[in-house]
Chains A and B, each alone.
Chain A
């Protein structure tokens, strides 16, 4: 009975803490704007299939390159498809791919980093050398190699992005673990005879979690940038899929007389990236982590 009460109490505390962090984030205008934008995009991504007025892949020669009007709010593209429909569905693609990609990046980057920080020595040296080598291949070349190797379906893109953007998290997780591991409470846990697993789970992860989460939030916006750049170059998701990068690259050639079909996805993508960035910054500040002097690697 008593132990039950304690876990309940703990969970309530966790929720309260999360709420507290959100409140701190929203207390500054930049954080509030960021949170609002991200929330707006997430809600739009969830409901877009139900509110989309047209079929996103319905091609029609009669409605080619129409200017914005009451029927087509953002006009139509060169194949006669409704730009509004494709723009709101594009957010769904971007958010799904990058959300699951970030999750994978956090998991493998965080775990490998903690592992390296713990074991140290030769294994740590070798792993960090390889991570450094991966860091020194420009992201675009590495992503293009992976994609041309495995194809461009979302089942490939998500783990590929997750793998590639996780390597930076390895460094952060490792550094954070290094800081924690010398502390007294780890030594006393060892002295109490806790197993390695229990030390990792109960002592180390709670202490490095914040740093890893902040890094992950930052990676999320870079991953969105990388993903849409890939689509823009023609190596991301394949056509009829509504995707902002793809829409911009298709509409670019005709923008001298049909600028609306390029403006709509540009506004969508830019606002989401700025929103995620502001949110990640506010998140870092709310957790008391300063990353203003870090390079974007």
Chain B
């Protein structure tokens, strides 16, 4: 059991290492380097040489990678180009804002998805299922920027209920944030809920067709007792992994949603730093986003391991 967990963590670390290599090489082959971007038109002669020396661009690439990587392991991402601020200071408030957005969306999305998934599975092909399934298919296939734009058009412009875009500084307090994130949260959790509800639905349907549920029905277990004791624990377990993958996949959608609503989170920073060619920030973001992905999947793996008695005994026997 412990060995399995350690192996998973090891694999996650290897993945992160490859990601860091990929982004480092990717940034390395981008036309222009940190100095030509920073100095713009004055990038020649003594100024360029001085800058190259100051940022240490004159040492070979692999040495710079090792240097950068060892700093990252210690939690130091170096300096951003625009404004020459430490990247940690740039990232701090952004990470907090995105965390607020993501956690509120997840807190609303997961319970809602489980309830909707169970309803659609138990009333399969009846009116509730057809209605909910149609809505979920629509909201999971339409791109985030379209649903977000439509939300702004309908709720903010035509109905005038809520502000259409978020106009807060990146270091806003938690309460300032909460009043501004209603529409972004709706946009993100709509898609997330739809994806997860579909998975819960098919998972519940599979379990309902299994032998032990048939057995429970034949034994005369009351319907709802059977649902809660036999169906749900078995149906939600395999869904955990899939849900984790979905959350990670939706990171990309969060970027787009943040741009549409002008929300000062990590996603908008991705776009800003790539437009400004702020390469150190791009590298830092790639590592952070990949760590989130790896982390979520790791947690899901561990949760499945903890909750699944079959896997546990399998490991002990080995």
With the chains together, A221 CA to B206 CA distance in Å? 26
B36 contacts chain A at the CB level, 8 A cutoff? no
With the chains together, A201 CA to B141 CA distance in Å?
Answer: 35
A256 to B18, CA, bound (A): 46
Which of B57-65, B149-157, B224-232 forms contacts with chain A?
B149-157
Cβ contact within 8 Å between A133 and B15: yes
Say yes or no: A141-B285 contact (C-beta < 8 A), given A256-B157, A274-B138. Answer: yes
Residues of A within 8 A of B150 (CB): 266
Question: What residues of chain A have their CB less than 8 Å away from a CB belonging to chain B?
Answer: 129-130, 132-134, 136-141, 144-146, 148-149, 221, 225-226, 228-229, 232-235, 245, 248-249, 252, 255-256, 259, 262, 266, 269-270, 273-274, 277, 292-297
CB distance B26 to A140 under 8 Å?
no
Q: Which chain B residues lie closer than 8 Å to A269 at the CB level?
A: 143, 146
The 8 Å CB contact of A129, one of B14, B152, B274, is: B14
CB nearest to A297 among chain B residues: B245
Judge if B30 is at the interface, Cβ distance under 8 Å: yes
- CB atoms of A248 and B198 under 8 A apart: no
> CA separation between A148 and B30, bound complex, in Å?
8
Whether A295 pairs with B245 at a CB distance below 8 angstroms is yes
Majority DSSP secondary structure for residues of B touching A = helix
Residues of A near B255 (CB, < 8 A) are: 138, 140-141
21 A-B pairs (CB sep. < 8 Å): A129-B15, A133-B15, A133-B22, A136-B248, A137-B23, A137-B293, A138-B289, A138-B290, A139-B249, A140-B252, A140-B256, A144-B274, A146-B26, A149-B26, A229-B144, A232-B143, A233-B259, A256-B157, A293-B199, A293-B242, A296-B249
B interface bracket (residues with beta carbon within 8 Å of A): 35 or more
A-B residue pair count with CB separations less than 8 angstroms? 140
Q: When the two chains form their complex, are residues A266 and B22 in contact, meaning their CB atoms are under 8 A apart?
A: no
Q: Is B135 an interface residue (CB 8 A)?
A: no
Are B15 and A149 in contact, with the CB atoms below 8 A?
Answer: no
Q: Is the CB of A277 within 8 A of B141?
A: yes
- Contact between B252 and A259 (Cβ–Cβ < 8 Å)? no
10 nearest A-B pairs in the assembled complex, by CB-CB distance: A295-B245, A133-B18, A140-B252, A292-B202, A136-B293, A138-B251, A295-B242, A138-B252, A139-B252, A140-B255
Chain A: which residue is nearest B143 at the CB level? A225
Q: Which residues of B are found within 8 Å of A221, using beta-carbon distances?
A: 141
Is there contact, CB below 8 Å, between B153 and A132?
Answer: no
- A134 CA to B293 CA, complexed, in Å: 11
